Structure 1
Amino acid sequence: MGACCTKDHIHGGGYMTYDRDERDSNAGDVGEEVRRGDDGETVRLRGSSAFTSMFTQRGRKGVNQDSMTIWEDFSGEKDLVFCGVFDGHGPSGHRVARYARDVLPTKLSKAIKKHPSKPEDGLVSIWEAAFEESFKEFDQELGYDSSIDCFCSGATAVTIIKQGEHLVVANLGDSRAVLCTRGDKHQHIPIQLTVDHKPNIPCEAERIHNSHGRITAEKEDPDIHRVWVPDADYPGLAMSRSLGDFCLKDYGVISNPQISYRNLTRKDEFIVLATDGVWDVLTNKQVINIVASAKNRSTAAKLVVKLAVREWKRRFPGSMIDDCAVICVFFKNPPMLMKSMTSVGRRNVRSHPEFAVSRSCKSMGNDRTREEAGGSVNRDSSEEELKGGGQGICRSNSLTRAPPFSRALSHNLKMGKSCHEVEAC
């Protein structure tokens, strides 16, 4: 069963979405939904433009827990773009993902505005600090929101900010961002810009073990490492970083995003953000080839989702197909306007040049000179970790089980009580 978005209102400059019931007619994301932010941003939840393509489809596990958004003219700047894809898990995962979709961009925008740009700092450094601040603030507020039971529910997040040649990626969880660039022979080459935050990555496992969390795999899924509380068999979270999941925040699961920077070049063509429902069955190479082969940019994301679903059915005919969500962001002007482009898409060719790589973009500061070759920097991950997860794997739910007293624990957490107090009652 799914969830129907039925009511919106402004919350701190952002859009909040509520669910009337748990029914979801969203078998496929059709049409377009575009809103306006307080600073004049174009907030896109569905649909495509001349430089973007987005599509989501519910799997066979119930409500679609994937959410996504694109903010053009982000923070009121004509040449700034924000994109985000969020994958919920647990009983209230869809609420956490939608809350992140609607509120996190607003917090990021406010954080950017709080730090005026200084030549010695560079705008990219401001963006990185704003990402860290907004993720931390969002997760803290989420923990005290009585309308969302997030004790054993949470969401991943893969987000980007782009301005001209400059790209900053912030990620936590196992959603992924992959860049398509051209090789010397003009072949398409995938570059994975994010790390899949799995509990068995050495640096992640060390943090969890030091916090007394348990990492084990279940017999039915021996290849999937999960995080558990020290003295009970819950929640079985298949990732080491997430928004929410407060039952594990004392045991090494964190909401700190991993942030990387890339200086885009003429060889870079587009970036794909997608949830693990896509990456579990398609490789990085397969995804960029699908996008590159799409006849129309507007249908690129839908094509990736459709082929991922087909691959789920072919490889695992008896499995529960996961939700899939995809955003494609193209960097170069299209050679011609496709007939399938909407009128909004046609206008965006002229009114949103920020999606194209601009060779005249102003300098972002001297601290980024090491990026002159167009390489990417990932702060706390090794090269081996970045290579992980390229090949698709079959796995079950991101979270296996929540205790029956989850809601009571969540309520007491928000009231400032400890889990031990609840268990003693």
Structure 2
Amino acid sequence: MDLFDDLPEPTQTPAPVSAAQPPSTTEEEEEEEEERTFKRKRDDAECRSEEKEEEIKKVCREGLPVLRGYVAARRGEREEMQDAHVLLTDMSSCLSALPAQVSQVSYFAVFDGHGGARASRFAAENLHHNLAKKFPGGETENVDKLIKKCLLDTFRQTDEDFLKKASSQKPAWKDGSTATCLLVVDDMVYVANLGDSRAVLCRMEVSGGAGGQRRSVTLALSREHNPTIYEERMRIQRAGGTVRDGRVLGVLEVSRSIGDGQYKRCGVISTPDLRKCQLTANDRFIILACDGLFKVFSADEAVKFVLGVLQEGSVEPRPGLTEEELRFEAACQQLASEAVRRGCADNVTVILVSIGF
């Protein structure tokens, strides 16, 4: 750049200029100077704005929840363990690329099999891989809408893949499975579920103002699907099926599932219910469990049981685990054991996800 660009062009016979008097400028030059000053201020403001946005993004990333998963499984009085589960605290290794505005993805799932363990195991092995293939990545708009579509497509694909494999066997497999999947994208929880496994959130609230006591609130993150629910029964009947003794054709206890090929023509579907919830600093943990737990515990009782274990006395230290991690692990194991002690003959699988900020 020429150092003299900002100066007026010299004339052939310049008039003398007094040292005490500044050079005179034309209106056009004054406008140019004002425009340059405006541009500098605008550029400085844009730089400060970008720096502020980066600071906000950094604070948001640092303020994301820290999740840890714990699992306990009990066979109960069944001859075979037909439940399956998956814990992926960091799912990013399965994803080819994350959306530009997403920092972390976690995945937890419980599958409760019936008629055998093949459908639940197949779903545990394949559903999150299908999810990873369909998960949005790169520069995308409306990530929320894309994630919901991804979950719906993933469940449909997993069901179709299992039914294809099941029908190719001789004799054909008749297994089916519930599915309750928890997908956490940064601080947003997406729950997709089929059947009667459930997800519940423990949120702590202060009662009676700022100085009041903290109490737990139990929030349902899933909806059960059984043929006694009006909407489910109507769909089954419109498809030509019947509901007897609270079961599809008097046999199947759930109205939505992965597998169950012989019931798909009777209105049993694999379309999950989707629910969304943003995590806050008041959230303590999430329980994912099959119906074996909820046959002997209400959702609120299960939450209070876990809180009771977390508030108990000292725990025996173990290398590599903090005291809080040991408490959550103990709470998960004791909850599953208590379900069996209370007389649940079914398989019991519990995933406890701790939430920290």
8 Å contact from structure 1 (residues 178, 190) kept in 2: yes
TM-score normalised per structure 1 = 0.58
Match of 1:80 in 2: 105
1:200 is displaced (CA, Å) by 1.0
| 1:136 alignment partner, one of 151, 156, 159 | 156
1:188–1:126 CA distance, 2 compared to 1 (3 A): same
- Distance in 1 of aligned mates of 2:88 and 2:80: 25
Aligned 1:34-113 pairs, distance under 5 A: 51-76=68-93, 79-90=104-115, 92=116, 94-113=117-136
1:152 is displaced (CA, Å) by 3.0
Match of 1:178 in 2: 200
1:181–1:50 CA distance, 2 compared to 1 (3 A): closer
Match of 1:7 in 2: none
Provide, for residues 168-217 of structure 1, a one-character-per-residue CA deviation record: whole Å limited to 9, x for no partner. Answer: 00000000001111133311111111111010111111100100101010
1:148 is displaced (CA, Å) by 8.9
8 Å contact from structure 1 (residues 173, 241) kept in 2: yes
Report the 3-state secondary structure (helix = DSSP H, G, I; strand = E; otherwise coil) of the residue aligned with 1:331.
strand
- 1:159 maps to a residue whose letter is C
Match of 2:262 in 1: 247
- Distance in 1 of aligned mates of 2:275 and 2:201: 13
- 2:225 maps to a residue whose letter is H
Alignment of 1:127 with 2:147, yes or no, is: yes
- Distance in 2 of aligned mates of 1:193 and 1:125: 18
Match of 2:186 in 1: 164
8 Å contact from structure 1 (residues 70, 82) kept in 2: yes
Provide, for residues 147-173 of structure 1, a one-character-per-residue CA deviation record: whole Å limited to 9, x for no partner. Answer: 597653200000011123201000000
Alignment of 1:192 with 2:220, yes or no, is: yes
1:279–1:117 CA distance, 2 compared to 1 (3 A): farther
- Distance in 2 of aligned mates of 1:207 and 1:177: 24
List alignment gaps of at least 5 residues for structure 1: 1-48, 218-224, 314-320, 333-355, 357-425
- Distance in 2 of aligned mates of 1:107 and 1:196: 24
Structure that is richer in helix per residue: 2
Report the 3-state secondary structure (helix = DSSP H, G, I; strand = E; otherwise coil) of the residue aligned with 2:200.
strand
1:50 is displaced (CA, Å) by 7.6
1:117 is displaced (CA, Å) by 5.0
1:294 is displaced (CA, Å) by 2.3
1:50–1:253 CA distance, 2 compared to 1 (3 A): closer
8 Å contact from structure 2 (residues 309, 330) kept in 1: yes
Match of 1:307 in 2: 338
Report the 3-state secondary structure (helix = DSSP H, G, I; strand = E; otherwise coil) of the residue aligned with 1:70.
strand
1:149–1:177 CA distance, 2 compared to 1 (3 A): farther
8 Å contact from structure 2 (residues 288, 350) kept in 1: yes
Q: How many residues align?
A: 260
- Distance in 1 of aligned mates of 2:68 and 2:106: 11
List alignment gaps of at least 5 residues for structure 2: 1-65, 208-213, 311-326
- 1:267 maps to a residue whose letter is N
- 1:164 maps to a residue whose letter is D
8 Å contact from structure 1 (residues 150, 245) kept in 2: no
- Distance in 2 of aligned mates of 1:242 and 1:126: 23
1:294–1:174 CA distance, 2 compared to 1 (3 A): same
Alignment identity in percent? 30
| 2:247 alignment partner, one of 218, 223, 226 | 226
- Distance in 1 of aligned mates of 2:147 and 2:170: 28
- 1:290 maps to a residue whose letter is F
- Distance in 2 of aligned mates of 1:124 and 1:151: 36
1:65–1:275 CA distance, 2 compared to 1 (3 A): same
- Distance in 2 of aligned mates of 1:330 and 1:285: 17
Provide, for residues 70-112 of structure 1, a one-character-per-residue CA deviation record: whole Å limited to 9, x for no partner. Answer: 113214366210000000001x2x1111111011010001110
- Distance in 2 of aligned mates of 1:254 and 1:226: 14
Larger gyration radius, structure 1 or structure 2 = 2
- Distance in 2 of aligned mates of 1:307 and 1:197: 25
8 Å contact from structure 2 (residues 92, 104) kept in 1: no
1:52 is displaced (CA, Å) by 1.8
- Distance in 1 of aligned mates of 2:354 and 2:281: 12
Report the 3-state secondary structure (helix = DSSP H, G, I; strand = E; otherwise coil) of the residue aligned with 1:67.
strand
1:330 is displaced (CA, Å) by 1.2
- Distance in 2 of aligned mates of 1:150 and 1:196: 28
| 1:270 alignment partner, one of 274, 285, 293 | 285
1:116 is displaced (CA, Å) by 4.8
8 Å contact from structure 1 (residues 96, 150) kept in 2: no
Provide, for residues 319-362 of structure 1, a one-character-per-residue CA deviation record: whole Å limited to 9, x for no partner. Answer: xx000001111111xxxxxxxxxxxxxxxxxxxxxxx4xxxxxx
TM-score normalised per structure 2 = 0.69
8 Å contact from structure 1 (residues 53, 300) kept in 2: no
- 1:64 maps to a residue whose letter is M
- 1:110 maps to a residue whose letter is K
1:293 is displaced (CA, Å) by 2.2
- Distance in 1 of aligned mates of 2:225 and 2:307: 27
- 1:63 maps to a residue whose letter is E
Match of 2:32 in 1: none
